Amino acid sequence: MSRITVYTARKVRTMNPSFPEAEAVAVRDGRIVEVGTLDSMKPWLGAHEHVIDDRFKDHVLMPGFIDPHIHPAVGGVLLPSYWITAMEWQLPDRISPAIKTHEGYLERLGEIERSMDDPDEVLLTWGFHKIWHGDVFREQLNEISQTRPVFVLQRSFHEAVTNDAGLDWLEAERSELERHHQIDLETGRFFETGLAVLFQSVNKITLNPERFARGLEMHKRMVHLGGHTTVGDMAYPMMNHDFEWEMLSERIDRDDVPFRMKIVPRGALRGDWNGSPTENLARVNEMETLGTHRLRFGNAVKLFADGGFNAELMQLLPPGYIDGHHGEWLVAPEYFRALAEQYWKDGKQIHVHCTGDMGLELALTVLEDLLAVQPRFNHRFTIEHCGVSTPEQAGRIRDLGAIVSAAVYYVHELGEAYWHHSIGYERAFQMSRMGTLERLGITTAFHSDFVVSPPQPLHTAWVAVNRFAESGAVLGERERTSLDFAMRAITIDAAYVLNMENEIGSIRAGKLADFTVLEADPWETPLEDLKDIPIWGTVFEGRPFPVEK
């Protein structure tokens, strides 16, 4: 057995309500053996060889942060692109500053173009959003470059814009682009199904293995920067199991990586969403045997109900959208039910992507039926995202024993936009109703759904406790949460959602020695500054990993 290391700290916030604060934590072989003060842990220290490490004497230790819902493959695809964003993003190698004007956008794009050495490199930029950046059209991009293909990808992939060089670079013939109803050559805009034509060519860049590996490498560093020691890959694989597994094994399953990843397989594969439920169960069960130390599986699957929140394809109960459009189902409700039945009978934890209140209604209706047919305790049926919901549905979540993994950031970035353009004030005011979940005592995790929002748990918690909308105004003060609730949602309750609360999520004897090391105590920081608490780094299974400055 190895020597014990005792980390002393200005304060240890254990997130164990029975023993909330401490000054020291003793660690051996990657696990916690004792929590308390140097004095209280004397029996352990007297009996075993140990060393005191006081490098955190001015810091606050928290349990390692957990984001139960990210998508590493999306990071692999997007992070190697040039980012120009309306919100500030801390990237591993750079800050993407908040650029909120049309002029600012074009100026930054020009700067990027001039900084590129290889004249043949295609300029792919992500993060464009019309609300802030106005109309960016072909002619303006021609001024950025006459010769280099420039592709401006909208933040949630609603549209893309390109210049003349880009139009020439695409494989599709000009006449084919011309006749497409969702491609406008005059403005250089590709939208909805027209986008697929653009991606037919652009994917050849983004899915290049060398580039993807680089993106994954950056994603790893982002996860670390956010202070995480555990993340969940909530719907694996994104596209292709063989390719992604090779990438993840090579890049994540290594000794120098300061976090583990719980992988939750898709209950049905993307695209066709088909195959019989029994075949899908067999596929998932076989995948679970692949687990390694850092790439873990559990007895869980991800299913999907309605469409994306950012794409305004969530399914809404009446009165629906202001403009009268409809959301979509990602799988047929009957097929969703058949899959859920299969996985339920097999005892799996089911995570369901639900963004709108009609999607949630479907998930809860199916859960209720499953419970009637085959009651289960501790099933942890998890509502993922929970964007638009009703207060009554929240009650039903509680009554059915379901839990929530919430996309809180929606209210910050989209709250006001959806109030004005999508669903109106009342429902935008109450979206991501975390306050209700707290009042009802529903176990809730917060997630970033990276790249939907920055993978920074303190930032997510800051949104939950303040509900500052994009303009800075508070949107839905009755749906703000307490600080305790928010901090649990990124530690112990997130661990519960991943069914790992016996190993991680709080600082207590027996758990893995995962800590997030903060420069300030969240409980002594004004709530509006929560997101700005600097992170020194993490301790993963007993080993300190400072963030690179």
Partner 1 sequence: MTTRIPITILSGYLGAGKTTIINRLLSGDHGRRVAVLVNDFGAVNIDASLIETEDDNTISLTNGCVCCSIGDDLGAALDAQAARHIPPENILLEASGVAEPKRIATHVGFWPGFELDALIVAADAETVRNRANDKFVGQLVRSQIRHADIIALTKTDLVGPEAARGVKAWLRNQVPNARIFEAPNGTLPVALAFGADRASNALSGPVEPAPHSHLRTVMCVPGTGLSRAGLARAIEALPSSVHRVKGFFRDLETGRMTLLQCVGRRHEFLEAPTDTETVLVLIGVGSDTEMNGAMDLLTASDALEADPKSTFAARISD
Q: Does 323 bind partner 1 (CB under 8 A)?
A: no
- Where are the alpha helices (H) located in 227-301, listed in sequence order? 241-251, 277-288
Question: Cα 34–38–42 angle (5° rounding)?
Answer: 70
Q: What letter would DSSP give residue 314? A: -
Closer by beta carbon to partner 1, 183 or else 495: 183
> Interaction with partner 1 in 132-171: which residues (CB under 8 A)?
171
Closer by beta carbon to Zn ion, 370 or else 451: 451
Stretch that binds Zn ion, among 90-98, 266-274, 447-455, 489-497 (CB under 5 A): 447-455
Q: How far is the CB of 329 from partner 1 (least distance, A)?
A: 4
Place of tokens 């006001």: 416
Residue 521 contacts residue 13 (beta carbons within 8 Å): yes
Residue 438 contacts residue 481 (beta carbons within 8 Å): yes
CA distance 253 to 294: 5
Beta bridge partners of 36: 24
Q: How far is the CB of 42 from partner 1 (least distance, A)?
A: 60
CA 148: distance to chain centroid? 33
Residue 237 contacts residue 272 (beta carbons within 8 Å): no
Residues with Cβ within 8 Å of 270's Cβ and at least 6 positions away in sequence, in order, are 238, 239
Q: Looking at beta carbons, which residue is closest to Zn ion?
A: 449
Binding mask 171-210 for partner 1 (x = CB under 8 A): xxx--xx-xxxxx--------xxx-xx-xx----------
Partner from partner 1, Zn ion, none binding residue 196, C-beta < 5-8 Å depending on class: partner 1
Partner from Zn ion, partner 1, none binding residue 271, C-beta < 5-8 Å depending on class: partner 1
Q: How far is the CB of 209 from partner 1 (least distance, A)?
A: 17
Closer by beta carbon to partner 1, 172 or else 520: 172
Q: How far is the CB of 71 from Zn ion (least distance, A)?
A: 6
Q: Tell me: cis bond preceding 237? Omega within 30 of 0 counts.
A: yes
Q: How far is the CB of 322 from partner 1 (least distance, A)?
A: 16
Q: Does 241 bind partner 1 (CB under 8 A)?
A: no
Which stretch of DSSP H or E encloses residue 91? strand 89-91
Number of amino acids touching Zn ion (CB under 5 A):
1
Number of amino acids touching partner 1 (CB under 8 A):
40
CA distance 303 to 330: 9
Residue 491 contacts residue 513 (beta carbons within 8 Å): no
> Interaction with partner 1 in 332-351: which residues (CB under 8 A)?
332-335
For 479, what's the count of Cα atoms within 13 Å in the CB-facing half-sphere? 27
> Interaction with partner 1 in 268-287: which residues (CB under 8 A)?
269-276, 279
Q: Does 361 bind partner 1 (CB under 8 A)?
A: yes
When binding is defined by CB under 5 A, the residue of 312, 449, 493, 514 that contacts Zn ion is 449
Q: How far is the CB of 142 from Zn ion (least distance, A)?
A: 36
Q: What is the DSSP string of 322-366?
A: TT-----BSS-HHHHHHHHHHHHHTT-EEEEEE-SHHHHHHHHHH
Q: Which of 465, 466, 468, 446 is nearest to 457 (CA)?
A: 446
Closer by beta carbon to partner 1, 127 or else 307: 307
Q: How far is the CB of 308 from Zn ion (least distance, A)?
A: 9
Question: Cα 108–114–119 angle (5° rounding)?
Answer: 130
Partner from Zn ion, partner 1, none binding residue 329, C-beta < 5-8 Å depending on class: partner 1
Q: How far is the CB of 291 from partner 1 (least distance, A)?
A: 24
Give the interface with partner 1 as residue ranges (CB under 8 A). Answer: 171-173, 176-177, 179-183, 192-194, 196-197, 199-200, 239, 269-276, 279, 315, 326, 328-335, 358, 361-362
Binding-site ranges for Zn ion (CB under 5 A): 449
